[in-house]
């Protein structure tokens, strides 16, 4: 599998790449490393055992993986608070809100039901640093070094958190500044379709928007453990677009399986991507005097139109590699409050420590209600330039990266485009896939170049 931890935790086919044994060993190794680095020492100094919160999305495999993780943590002397089925950003929030020493989320995000993953959060709710992940992985590679005896402080106790969902919803609603039109609920007057991807958002997203005053039509909100992301959610927007048009809604919101993403659809069925959402939120914060240093953080995948819109608004764009952890790292280093990705991972650091799709949806829709203009008009703050994305799956990423032919063809394509576009070729952090992005004024030209490079990549692998 190469490096066990990708850009978003450990991910693989449940029962194959990601077994119950691996999940338990990861939990034990994480407990040991955090103990050795002094994190759990604070708990002992306070006269208590360390505490971990554990949540999951509704995949069938999450049930046995949750049991394995809980067993590993409790066996290593960690008290465990099970959160049940809940979004990833809720686990991050509750790690901080409950003063937990570790947070664990079992989810493969937008991946199909056969996959699953493990995401780890440090005290405070931020994703575990790369160095800590490296230490955990190194510990797994040393047979016989893992704890197999009862811990000195006793085994951890396991309990269920009955009000985790309510605490999270209260937190989200409190993030909105004041009421909506005429002092009423902030989303009063809006009809919204929300696609929950049959995932972790199913039990919370419709409830959140209703409490905020919207009329809500929920779709993709009947998880059965096998249908997560299946033809629905943020990676399959056609169903949402059709529902928005059929129900004459003001907007549609799409989440992925663990609800850390948000994409939108306007009343005419046009998709509003993460760049456009980020632009709307950035300009709203700037107008309110709350956009720190008049700067927003985005990735190399952000559309050229986003950069031009921010330049026109005198907003600086700090660019990072792809992955919300890198966006967050730049935000924390620079003291910025807003960042995100085209895919819909938006981080609002005043209110969350990770991408939060529900928080993003709430603030986007609140902007529509506050400005009293359609979502399409708000999204027109930027022009989206044609961008062709091709995922070349099932390839050897290392071989592609070292291929002289691939490098030469990429450089030739860049020279051909000149200043009229951009080309980005990068390996996926979570899948055996190389992603090709070509941006150009002429969409046919962008498609031709993307397909040409994808063919070269397939040949090189």
Average pLDDT rounded to a whole number, residues 185-204: 97
Mean pLDDT across 332-348: 96
State the sign of the Cα–Cα–Cα–Cα dihedral 287, 290, 292, 296: negative
In the Cβ-directed half-sphere of 372, how many Cα atoms lie within 13 Å? 3
CB contact at 8 A, 198 and 222? yes
Is residue 77 over pLDDT 50?
Answer: yes
Q: Which pLDDT tens digit goes with each residue over 90-115?
A: 999 999 999 999 999 999 999 999 99
Predicted TM-score (pTM) of the model is 0.88
Confidence of residue 400 (pLDDT cuts 50, 70, 90): confident
- Position 438 scores a pLDDT of 93
- Pairing state of beta strands 51-56 and 102-106? parallel
Asked if residues 350 and 357 have their Cβ atoms less than 8 Å apart, the reply is no
Rounded CA-CA distance 57/50 in Å is: 24
Q: Across residues 207-212, what is the average pLDDT? A: 98
User: CA-based diameter of the chain, in Å?
Assistant: 66
The answer on pLDDT for 458 being more than 60 is yes
Whole-number Cα distances in Å, 120 to 91, 101, 157, 281? 10, 11, 20, 28
Instruction: Give residue-wise pLDDT tens across range 273-307.
Output: 999 999 999 999 999 999 999 999 999 889 988 99
The predicted pLDDT at position 1 comes to 43
Nearest to 153 by CA among 27, 48, 39, 34: 48
The pLDDT, as a whole number, for residue 418 is: 81
**Catalytic: which of 61, 109, 302, 403?**
109
Is residue 109 part of the annotated active site? The answer reads yes
Domains with residue ranges and CATH for the chain: 5-161 (3.40.120.10), 192-379 (3.40.120.10), 387-460 (3.30.310.50)
256-278 per-position pLDDT tens digit: 999 999 999 999 999 999 999 99
Q: Which token pair is 138?
A: 């190194």
Mean pLDDT of 362-367: 98
Determine how β-strand 215-219 pairs with β-strand 191-195. parallel
Q: Which positions ≥6 away from 256 have C-beta within 8 Å? A: 109, 110, 197, 199, 229, 233, 234, 235, 344, 357
Please write down the HEC assignment for all residues of 311-349: HHCCCEEEEECCCHHHHHHHHHHHCCCEEECCCCCEEEC
Question: Has residue 147 got a pLDDT over 80?
Answer: no
Is the pLDDT confidence value at 145 over 70? no
Lowest-confidence pick of 7-11, 146-150, 171-175: 146-150
Which residue's structure tokens are 């999940």? 23
List, for residues 212-253, the tens digit of each pLDDT value: 999 999 999 999 999 999 999 999 999 999 999 999 999 999
**Distance between CA atoms of 1 and 11, rounded to whole angstroms?**
10
**Residue 454 scores a pLDDT above 70:** yes
Which of the pair, 364 or 396, is modelled with greater confidence? 364
CA 42 vs CA 29, 45, 101, 128, 138: distances in Å: 18, 5, 9, 17, 24
Report yes or no: 219 and 243 within 8 Å, Cβ to Cβ. yes
For 193, the token pair is 């379709």
pLDDT value at 441 more than 90: no
Distance separating alpha carbons of residues 222 and 224, to the nearest angstrom: 6
pLDDT mean across residues, the chain: 91
pLDDT of residue 2: 55
Residue linked to tokens 């992005």: 437
Structure tokens at 417: 């485009």
Per-residue pLDDT at 387: 85
The sign of the dihedral angle between the CA atoms of 194, 198, 200, 202 is positive
Encoded tokens for 66: 């949750």
C-alpha–C-alpha distance, residues 222 and 228, integer Å:
9
Residue 179, pLDDT > 60, answer: no
């Amino acid at each position: 599998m190469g490096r066990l931890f990708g850009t978003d935790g450990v991910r693989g086919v449940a029962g194959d790449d990601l077994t119950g044994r691996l999940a338990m060993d990861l939990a034990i190794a994480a407990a040991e490393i955090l103990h050795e680095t002094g994190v759990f020492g604070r708990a002992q100094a306070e006269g208590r055992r360390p505490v971990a919160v554990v949540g999951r999305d509704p995949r069938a495999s999450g049930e046995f993986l949750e049991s394995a993780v809980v067993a590993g943590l409790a066996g290593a002397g960690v008290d465990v608070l099970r959160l049940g089925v809940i979004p990833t950003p809720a686990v991050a929030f509750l790690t901080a809100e409950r003063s937990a020493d570790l947070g664990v989320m079992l989810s493969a995000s937008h991946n199909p039901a056969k996959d699953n993953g493990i995401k780890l959060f440090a005290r405070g709710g931020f994703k575990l640093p790369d160095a800590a992940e490296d230490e955990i992985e190194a510990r797994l590679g040393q047979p016989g070094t893992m704890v197999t005896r009862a811990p000195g402080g006793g085994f951890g106790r396991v309990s269920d958190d009955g009000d985790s969902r309510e605490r999270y919803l209260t937190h989200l609603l409190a993030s909105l500044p004041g009421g909506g039109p005429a002092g009423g609920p902030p989303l009063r007057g809006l009809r919204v379709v929300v696609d929950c991807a049959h995932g972790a958002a199913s039990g919370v997203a419709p409830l959140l928007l209703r409490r905020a005053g919207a009329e809500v039509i929920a779709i993709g909100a009947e998880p059965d453990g096998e249908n997560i992301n299946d033809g629905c959610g943020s990676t399959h927007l056609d169903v949402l677009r059709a529902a928005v048009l059929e129900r004459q809604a003001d907007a549609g919101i799409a989440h992925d399986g663990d609800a850390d993403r948000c994409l939108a659809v306007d009343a005419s069925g046009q998709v509003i991507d993460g760049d456009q959402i980020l632009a709307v939120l950035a300009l709203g914060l700037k107008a309110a005097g709350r956009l720190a240093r008049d700067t927003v953080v985005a990735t190399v995948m952000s559309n050229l139109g986003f950069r031009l819109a921010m330049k026109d608004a005198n907003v600086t764009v700090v660019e990072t590699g792809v992955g919300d952890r890198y966006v967050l790292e730049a935000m924390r280093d620079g003291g910025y409050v807003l960042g995100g990705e085209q895919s819909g991972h938006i981080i609002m650091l005043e209110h969350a420590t990770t991408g939060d799709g529900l928080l993003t949806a709430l603030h986007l829709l609140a902007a529509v209600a506050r400005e009293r203009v359609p979502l399409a008009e708000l999204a027109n703050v930027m022009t989206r330039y044609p961008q062709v994305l091709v995922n070349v799956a099932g390839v050897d990423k290392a071989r592609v990266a070292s291929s002289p032919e691939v490098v030469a063809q990429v450089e030739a394509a860049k020279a051909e485009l000149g200043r009229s576009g951009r080309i980005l070729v990068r390996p996926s952090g979570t899948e055996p896939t190389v992603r090709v992005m070509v941006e150009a004024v002429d969409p046919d030209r962008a498609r031709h170049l993307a397909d040409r490079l994808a063919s070269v990549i397939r040949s090189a692998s």
